[in-house]
Chains A and B, each alone.
Chain A
Amino acid sequence: MAGERSYAVEQVAAPESIDSLHDLLARVARENPEVPRDDLSMMETAVIEIAGNLVEHGRPPGEVTYRFDLTLHADRLEGVLADSGEELPGGLTDLVEVDVMSESGRGLFLADAVLDTLVYRRTDAANIWSMTRRYR
Chain B
Amino acid sequence: MEMTTEELAPGVAVLRCTGRLNMVAAKQFRSHIDETVRGGHRKVAVDLGGVSFIDSSGLGALVGGLKSARQAGGDLRIAAAGDQVRSVLELTNLARVLRPHDSVESATDGW
Given A49-B56, A103-B64, A109-B92: A114 and B87 interface contact (C-beta under 8 Å): yes
Question: How many chain B residues touch A (Cβ–Cβ < 8 Å)?
Answer: 25
Of B61, B84, B96, the residue contacting A100 (CB under 8 A) is: B96
**Roughly how many angstroms separate A56 CA and B53 CA in the complex, as a whole number?**
19
Question: In residues 64-111 of chain A, which contact B (Cβ within 8 Å)?
Answer: 97, 100-104, 106-107, 109-110
**Roughly how many angstroms separate A110 CA and B63 CA in the complex, as a whole number?**
15
User: Is there an interface contact between A15 and B91, defined as CB atoms closer than 8 Å?
Assistant: no
B93 at the interface (CB under 8 A from A): yes
User: Is there an interface contact between A113 and B92, defined as CB atoms closer than 8 Å?
Assistant: yes
Further pairs besides A22-B20, A45-B87, A100-B97: 6, Cβ < 8 Å: A41-B84, A52-B57, A104-B57, A110-B88, A113-B91, A114-B87
What's the minimum C-beta distance from B46 to chain A, rounded to whole angstroms?
15
Question: How many chain A residues touch B (Cβ–Cβ < 8 Å)?
Answer: 26
Interface flags for B85-107 (1: CB within 8 Å of A; 0: not) read 00110011110110000000000
What's the minimum C-beta distance from B53 to chain A, rounded to whole angstroms?
7
A10 at the interface (CB under 8 A from B): no
User: Is there an interface contact between B91 and A114, defined as CB atoms closer than 8 Å?
Assistant: yes
Contacts of A102 in B (CB 8 A): 60, 63
Whose C-beta in chain B lies nearest to the C-beta of A22?
B20
Count of A-B residue pairs with CB < 8 Å: 76
Given A15-B24, A19-B24: A52 and B55 interface contact (C-beta under 8 Å): yes
Of B20, B55, B67, B83, the residue contacting A49 (CB under 8 A) is: B55
Residue from A15, A97, A103, A107 with most neighbouring chain B CB atoms (10 Å): A103
A18 at the interface (CB under 8 A from B): yes
Whose C-beta in chain A lies nearest to the C-beta of B54?
A45
**Roughly how many angstroms separate A68 CA and B16 CA in the complex, as a whole number?**
33
User: Is there an interface contact between A38 and B88, defined as CB atoms closer than 8 Å?
Assistant: no
Contacts of B60 in A (CB 8 A): 102-104, 106
User: Is there an interface contact between B56 and A107, defined as CB atoms closer than 8 Å?
Assistant: yes
Of A15, A19, A100, the residue contacting B93 (CB under 8 A) is: A100
User: Is there an interface contact between A52 and B97, defined as CB atoms closer than 8 Å?
Assistant: no
Whose C-beta in chain B lies nearest to the C-beta of A98?
B92
B59 at the interface (CB under 8 A from A): yes
**Roughly how many angstroms separate A44 CA and B22 CA in the complex, as a whole number?**
12
